[in-house]
Amino acid sequence: MIRFNTRKGHLASAILLAVGLTAPFLALASDEGSGESALVQSVIENGKRFIVRIETVGGAQPLNTLPRAGADDKRNRFRDNPGSNFAIADGPTTGIIYSTDGLILTSSFNFVREPAIVTVSLPDGRQMTADIVARDKVRKLTLLKIDANDLPTPRWTPREQIRPGQTAIALGVGFGGRDTMASAGIVSAVNRMMGNAIQTDAMLSPANYGGPLLDSTGYILGICVPMAQRPGELAGIEFYDAGVGFAIPGWRVREIVGELEQGKSFHRGWLGMTVDPKVKKGVVIKSSADPSPMRQAGARAGDWVVKINDQPIKHFGQLVKALYMLPAGEKVQVRLLRGAEHIDVELILARSEELGTLPEEELPFDPSKPATEDDAETPSPQDAP
């Protein structure tokens, strides 16, 4: 194992010589004393053709807390959440040229602040103002458009050729100068994050988010993004430089960009319900917003959610994992348990803005009145000492 020492923006991580090396790498290793370095340098030079520097200015820092609702507050209490308290600063980030006519692909991580101005610096030195075409806040991608033509575009690794153990090199141009930065490792796993990502041990950071993860031939394996098994555009940022990174593979990118280039943005999908916090081993509906997907599907307070898309739901964490990668507009199959009866319903996840208010919950007594003996609960025989 050979490790390049870079943590804050130079070359980092490791290339494992015994696993997943392709023919071009072996050729380089046999021709030069330092084949690993030559391989990475070759990939960097190839990547410089289509990697762009993106600068964003303005926008508000996202808050990771829900607004506190007062007693008379009828607002929708469902709010999208960034998923982390990580502070997003103005500054350069990374993207790639996606099409010859000026489509630029990057990570939505770079746009959580809703910047007022976006500029793109091309490999040939030109700097252009960019428009945000659309964002995928679930799979963490953003599509930009600049007024340019005849741009160089990358090649993508075919889906069937992405496999654990192969060389993976992440490139970026954000944070710390205009030089291209790289970290190298392997593909650790495929079909992660509900089939939306590949995992790599190449160290990733905000400098790489939106940039490419490349194989040893210079083809793009995927676009580097922060990810975790919970919702939020910043979810997963805690893995920064931890050796656990994720990238959206090319075949999935093409599906998502096909929607983004039509101007369709993706938002977190909601069921629009609250769960009973007293129930630890299972998920019991406490209430549902009106309107909401659960209300329209006929779900009632007291129903148990036992399956989501054929995935068993035995506690709240499994409910979150079943839904965290599903955007609003996605169809979901839900199995409820009401008494001894199983009820299967199909619903369409909603955006938070589409959800109504939750019903007011009745208190078991009026806390403003003094308690009397008549208010005391009579113990049942089995409760008697």
pLDDT for position 37: 83
How many whole angstroms separate alpha carbon 105 and alpha carbon 116? Answer: 18
pLDDT for position 206: 87
Beta strands 181-191 and 91-97, pairing class: unpaired
Q: Inform me whether the pLDDT recorded for 280 exceeds 50.
A: yes
How would residue 64 be classed by pLDDT, with cut points 50, 70 and 90? low
183 contacts 244 by C-beta, under 8 angstroms: no
279 contacts 233 by C-beta, under 8 angstroms: no
pLDDT for position 381: 30
Q: Inform me whether the pLDDT recorded for 277 exceeds 80.
A: yes
Q: Mean pLDDT for the chain?
A: 82
pLDDT for position 94: 94
Range with the poorest average pLDDT among 82-86, 124-128, 242-246: 82-86
Cα 128 from chain centre: 27
pLDDT for position 230: 87
pLDDT tens column, 166-224: 999 999 987 656 788 899 999 999 999 999 999 999 999 888 899 999 999 999 999 99
24-51 in b/e burial notation, b at 16+ Cβ within 10 A?
bbeebbeeeeebbbbbbebbbebbeebb
How would residue 22 be classed by pLDDT, with cut points 50, 70 and 90? very low
pLDDT for position 6: 37
Q: Residue 291, preceding bond cis, omega within 30 degrees? A: yes
Token pair, residue 316, equals 């709240």
Q: Give φ, ψ of 245 to 5 degrees.
A: -130, 160
Range with the poorest average pLDDT among 13-17, 67-71, 141-145: 13-17
Range with the poorest average pLDDT among 75-84, 169-178, 248-257, 347-356: 75-84
Q: Which among 157, 164, 167 is positioned nearest to 17, based on CA atoms?
A: 167
Q: Which of 7-21, 68-82, 190-204, 232-246 has the highest mean pLDDT?
A: 190-204
Using DSSP's 3-state secondary structure scheme, residue 31 falls into: helix
Token pair, residue 220, equals 């793009």
63 contacts 136 by C-beta, under 8 angstroms: no
Average pLDDT over residues 282-293: 95
Q: Give φ, ψ of 100 to 5 degrees.
A: -65, -20
pLDDT for position 195: 94
pTM: 0.81
| Choice between 177 and 267, residue whose per-residue pLDDT is larger | 267
Average pLDDT over residues 3-30: 34
Amino acid identity, position 2 = I
The helix or strand, by DSSP H or E, that contains position 135, with its residue range, turns out to be strand 131-136
CB atoms within 10 A of CB 17: 14
The helix or strand, by DSSP H or E, that contains position 181, with its residue range, turns out to be strand 181-191
Query: Domains along the chain?
Result: 1-266 (2.40.10.120), 273-354 (2.30.42.10)
Token pair, residue 152, equals 């160089």
What is the maximal distance between C-alpha atoms in the chain? 92
Q: Which among 53, 17, 23, 20 is positioned nearest to 37, based on CA atoms?
A: 17
Q: Give φ, ψ of 67 to 5 degrees.
A: -65, 140
| Choice between 119 and 3, residue whose per-residue pLDDT is larger | 119
Ordered DSSP codes for 248-285? EEHHHHHHHHHHHTTT--B-B-B--EEE-TT--SS-BE
pLDDT for position 90: 67
Amino acid identity, position 166 = Q
**% of the chain surpassing 70 pLDDT:** 79
How would residue 241 be classed by pLDDT, with cut points 50, 70 and 90? confident
Q: Is 136 exposed, middle or buried (0-12, 13-18, 19+ CB in 10 A)?
A: buried
Q: Inform me whether the pLDDT recorded for 274 exceeds 50.
A: yes
* Residues 6+ positions from 277 with CB-CB distance below 8 Å: 286
Residue spans of beta strands (DSSP E) within 272-340: 273-275, 285-288, 304-308, 311-312, 331-338
Per DSSP, what are the bridge partners of residue 357?
Answer: 290
Q: Give φ, ψ of 93 to 5 degrees.
A: -135, -175
Q: Inform me whether the pLDDT recorded for 13 exceeds 80.
A: no
| Choice between 13 and 255, residue whose per-residue pLDDT is larger | 255
* Residues 6+ positions from 25 with CB-CB distance below 8 Å: 35, 39, 167, 216
pLDDT tens column, 88-130: 766 788 999 999 999 999 999 888 888 889 999 999 999 999 9
